[in-house]
Chain A
């Protein structure tokens, strides 16, 4: 079993829909959770950074962490065509991923105009 599982998609939704992206993990030591957005031929861009269980909201984005289920989610409200990208979850046991981050494979999201 891989450490971090993420459905690669593609996930295609109409503009304006609510998008739900998810990752599961097996390492109970993970405490810090991140979501990155990556456009083609670009580096990942940090969207959300959370610690332990709970919710965090930033504009149209909401990150949820359920450590008891080893499950994290990213919700995108009022999705836009510009949200079309690959979304990577990442996690670590230490703050900031001090000894490196563990990534999912990424979910390719397509927002249809």
Chain B
């Protein structure tokens, strides 16, 4: 099936632990994005990448890190420096030529 796959659906983090969220796509899209959604809030941009081996900080990048070694994959690491990591994390992709963003089904991260 074509699409955007986020895994796992649910993730728990212990204090002081880094965790990595996976986002994989087979749409051949160049651009990939990570957003965070808190209850009753809109989505906020964490990081984005428009091409392999390049990425930019979004509005709330502190405490997060990313890599883009392959076109298909854009993993997000939530580090121990992120003091309030409990949220719904959404990955999006977009093709070239101003195509709109499409989203995966998210990973819900909670603190143990």
Contact = CB atoms under 8 A, between A and B. Distances in A.
A98 B31 contact: yes
Interface string B86-112: 000010001101111111111010000
Given A88-B42, A96-B98, A106-B42, A43 B104 contact: yes
Interface in A12-62: 32, 34, 36, 41-46, 49
Contacts of A97: 33, 94, 100-101
B106 A104 contact: no
What's the interface size class on B, roughly?
A: 20 to 34
Given A101-B43, A103-B42, A96 B90 contact: no
A100 interface: yes
B84 to A, nearest CB: 18
B19 to A, nearest CB: 19
B61 to A, nearest CB: 11
Contacts of B4: 43
Contacts of B94: 96-98
A43 to B, nearest CB: 4
Contacts of A32: 98, 100
Contacts of A46: 100-102
A46 B103 CA distance: 8
A8 B100 contact: no
A105 interface: yes
A100 B42 contact: no
Contacts of A95: 97-99
A45 B43 contact: no
17 contacts: A41-B106, A41-B108, A43-B6, A43-B106, A46-B101, A46-B102, A88-B42, A90-B42, A90-B43, A95-B99, A96-B97, A96-B99, A98-B98, A99-B48, A101-B45, A103-B42, A104-B42
Interface of A: 4, 6, 8, 32, 34, 36, 41-46, 49, 88, 90, 94-101, 103-106
